[in-house]
Structure formats: structure tokens, C-alpha cells
Amino acid sequence: MKNIFKITGALIVAVMLTSCVVHDNGHRVKKVPPGQAKKIYGGSAKDYAPGQVKKRNGY
């Protein structure tokens, strides 16, 4: 009888551990500062700054 409790307890713990799965969506985007983006891609740092969106052409 003790063996049945041990096996059942081990199975319950195993099921609980396998249910804890971390899912990674792959949406990790490393933000580059505007000055660094300017150095890499060229242009003005304002083109890459999030606060300068309204000043871009076409908006």
C-alpha cells in the first residue's frame, strides 16, 4: 500500500513539473539608441528617435 502512495505521489509531482513550461514567443527586439542607429544605417538621429515620429515626412 505504501508503494502505491509513493508511485502516485511521484507521478503527481512529475505531472506538476512538466506542466510548468515557459514559452518564448521570439519577440525579443533589442532597441538601438538613435545615435547608434544613425551610425549603422546613416541619416539623421531624428529619423530613428521614437519621439520624432510626427516630424517625419508623410505623417
Model pLDDT, residue 42: 84
Rounded Cα–Cα distance for residues 19 and 51 (Å): 42
Tell me the domain boundaries of the chain. Answer: 1-55
**Could you read off the pLDDT of 18-34 as tens digits, one per residue?**
877 777 666 666 778 88
Model pLDDT, residue 8: 94
Nearest alpha-carbon partner for 35 in 20, 25, 46, 24: 46
